[in-house]
Structure formats: C-alpha cells, structure tokens
Amino acid sequence: MGSNQVTAKSHNIRSILKTLLHQRQISRVELAGITGLTTATITNLVNELLRQGVVREEGIELSDSPRVGRPRMVLELIPKARYAIGVHIGIGEFRVIITDLIAKPIAESTIQYEVCQDAAVVIDAIIRQIKHLVQQNGIPNETIIGIGVGASGLVNVETGVNINAPNLCWQDIPLRDMISHGTGFPVIVDNNVRLMSLAEAMFGDGKSVNAMAFVYARIGVGAGLVVNGSLYRGMAAGAGEIGHSVVIPDGGEICRCGNHGCLETLVSEPAIIRLAQQLAEANPDGIMARELQNGNGSLIDHVFAAAQAGDIAVLEMLKDRARYFGIALANLVNILNPEMIVLGGLLVQGEAYMLPVIQNTVRKCAFSHMGDQVEIRTTRFGHQTGVIGAAAFALNTFFYDSIEFSEQEKTI
C-alpha cells in the first residue's frame, strides 16, 4: 500500500472517530453524510474499528415511529475500550488521572511536592504515581493509548522539553523522554493552561465553538487559545501570555518578566494577598484582619472568606482587580473575537465577586458588539480542568488524531 493511501486512510479513520466522539450514536448512512466518505469506505473502515474493539454497532428501538422491520442500527464508541493518562504539573502539586475515551475520569490522585527541587525527583514521583494508579485499577497496559502532560511555563511541543518553568526553577527538562522512559508509554507535552483550553474545546461547553480562550489566574496568569477547533500556539509556543499584557506602563509594579504594570502584577494570587494584607493592616479590627489571624487554610482562602463575610474594603479591592482583568480580556476579545472565554483558578473561587465586573468591563471596553457577543464564564471542570486537558491531549494525539490504526495495514 502506498504512503498516500495510508495517509488518506488514517485521515478518514480520524474523521470517523471524531464524528463518533461528537455524535455518540450514529448510523452508517449519517456517518457517510457527515464525513463525506463513500458507503464502501465507511464499511471498510467501520469493520476495522469493530475488529479493533473500539466501536460497537447495535440496534435501537425508535420511540417516535411505529415498529416496522428491523430496529435502527447505530454505531458508537466503546468508551472503556482504551484509556488515556493525563498529568498536570502545577506549582507545588501534580495531578495524575486515568480517563476513558470520552475523558471520563476513572482514577485520580493529587500529590504535593516541594518547589525548586531537582526536576528528576518530581518526575520520579510522577512516574511512580502513574504506575500505581494503573496497577491499582487493573488497567491492562495495552489498552493505554498514551500520556498527555501539562507542564508549567514554556514547552517545546516537538521535543517535549520544558524549556523554562520559572515558578519551579526548572530549565530544559526533557519531560517527554523521561516520563516515556520511566513508564513505557508514548508521551506528549504542552503548556498546562493551553491544555485546559483543550479540555473545554474537546469535552466542555466549547465543543461547538470556533474560537475560544481559556484564561487561568493563580500564581501567574495565562491563556490557552483555540482557533478553528485547534490549539493555537503561535510562532514559538508563546501565544496566550496575557499575564504580561501591560495595563499600567508608568508607575506600575515591576513584574517578574522585567516590565512594569503587567496584568499579573495586578490580578494574581500574590497580588490579591498583598493588597488584602495591606487592608488588614489599615483596619486591624476589621473582618480581613480577623480572617488572617485564623490560621487554617491558605491566604487566598481567607481573602475570599472575608469577602463572603461582607468586608467592604476587600469586596471593593476584588472589584477593582476584576476591572483590570476585564480590560485585558477586552483587548483579547478585540484580537481573537472569541465566542467564549472560560475562566479558571482563583476566578472560579472569586466568581461571585469578580465575574459580573469582568463581564461588564468587557462589554464596555471591547470594540463594537464583540463584547456583548462573547460568553464569559468559569470552568465546569473545577480543579480537574488541567488534568482532564492533559488526558484530552493524549486522546487527541494518540487516538482521535493518530495514524496508529494504519500501521497494521502497512505491514500486510
């Protein structure tokens, strides 16, 4: 078989698998209609997928039509025919997940680690955790399609090297090769926030959306962009650095990037905590000051607890931060014209106090009607967005967008 035929065949398989992912139950005739493939090609490729055990064909009764002759036959993916592994490397903690073919979690764990220690130690712990989860859940190795890794900072997707993760003090870490060597599975690596946008685009509310952004704020602020259904990385994988949009060029605080007044210096966990501490010092008997004396939980939890308890100064401060955030998003809207912006991280925690102000600011500041048309909301995946995005990346790379299915055929 010539290589052109192999390419065309794998392209056709991909389009069938992606249609099955989005339609869930579909007849062969409908499948031909959507993919534009001939009946003969559909028969040939569907038979191969049935042989591989990743799809099944069943008769279903139609409730709205009289029972005449045979039931309608539909094809559907068998979600548990294969599994994907996702790894999300956050700052001070990593998450590992095993999902089925439709990104439904099967098992998950979260492990804390000390930041700025040797990367090899953390990667070793990741590998051990992957093996542990696979074994504990009795997942056969041959059903695992591969591992997607969402890394902090700049990543070279081609080489799987984590070029620079300033918050972890890591440089030039060959994540892909180390994790692949340690587990025996194929591995693909990208930036962790970019993969959150993939979770939304493949399995969240962004499924039917053409252009969308996922914006995450925690220690830093970053965005993942999806354009025409695919991740947009830019020239050197730097697309989405919205945290370094300059909002206050003169007199703004210095950012870790060296500029002044970047969004990250105004709206991030450290920035909000610092402002809350100043408010507590200015009003030692206030709600914020009392919250901070209460030792349990993280500092940012105390800030939102004070807002919840009605601390006026804290509420004003959060609204003020939300306005800056909205200005940066309005600029993003003017460039990308997205249908949807999904927010994650502390914006989920602070949704009640910040989201309405963010939405209003975008409506007011974005050009023409673009601000009214964009839907801005928080992620529905909660803390799992990053790790589900990593598994989605593995699914996309090694299953829905893979050419593995044609490998067998090549040797015949």
Which stretches of the chain bind Zn ion, using CB under 5 A? 244, 255, 257, 259, 262
Pick the closer one to Zn ion by CB: 48 or 264.
264
In 81-203 the beta strands, taken as DSSP E runs, fall at: 83-89, 93-99, 105-112, 144-151, 154-156, 161-165, 170-173, 187-191
Q: Closest distance between Zn ion and the C-beta of residue 255, in Å?
A: 3
Pick the closer one to Zn ion by CB: 151 or 221.
221
Helix axis angle, 3-23 relative to 28-35, nearest 10°?
120
Q: Closest distance between Zn ion and the C-beta of residue 244, in Å?
A: 4
Q: Closest distance between Zn ion and the C-beta of residue 98, in Å?
A: 36
Q: Closest distance between Zn ion and the C-beta of residue 262, in Å?
A: 3
Side-by-side strand order, sheet with 170-173: 154-156, 161-165, 170-173
Using alpha carbons only, give the angle 155, 156, 158 rounded to the nearest 5 degrees.
140
Pick the closer one to Zn ion by CB: 244 or 321.
244
Whether 219 and 268 have beta carbons less than 8 Å apart is answered as yes
Whether 81 and 46 have beta carbons less than 8 Å apart is answered as no
Pick the closer one to Zn ion by CB: 168 or 255.
255
Give the closest residue to 243 by CA, choosing from 198, 191, 204: 191
Q: Closest distance between Zn ion and the C-beta of residue 251, in Å?
A: 15
Q: Closest distance between Zn ion and the C-beta of residue 353, in Å?
A: 25
Pick the closer one to Zn ion by CB: 259 or 334.
259
Pick the closer one to Zn ion by CB: 244 or 323.
244
Non-local (6+) Cβ contacts of 71 within 8 A are: 59, 60, 61, 62
Task: Give CA–CA dist 396/99, Å, rounded.
Answer: 13
Pick the closer one to Zn ion by CB: 107 or 257.
257
H/E run at residue 276:
helix 269-282
Non-local (6+) Cβ contacts of 267 within 8 A are: 217, 221, 321, 322, 324, 325, 328
Give the bridge partners for 254, in sequence order.
260
Q: Closest distance between Zn ion and the C-beta of residue 81, in Å?
A: 45
Q: Closest distance between Zn ion and the C-beta of residue 260, in Å?
A: 8
Using alpha carbons only, give the angle 97, 399, 110 rounded to the nearest 5 degrees.
10
Task: Give CA–CA dist 134/33, Å, rounded.
Answer: 39
Q: Closest distance between Zn ion and the C-beta of residue 266, in Å?
A: 10
Pick the closer one to Zn ion by CB: 209 or 257.
257
Pick the closer one to Zn ion by CB: 256 or 383.
256
Burial of residue 141 (number of CB atoms within 10 Å: 0-12, 13-18, 19+): exposed
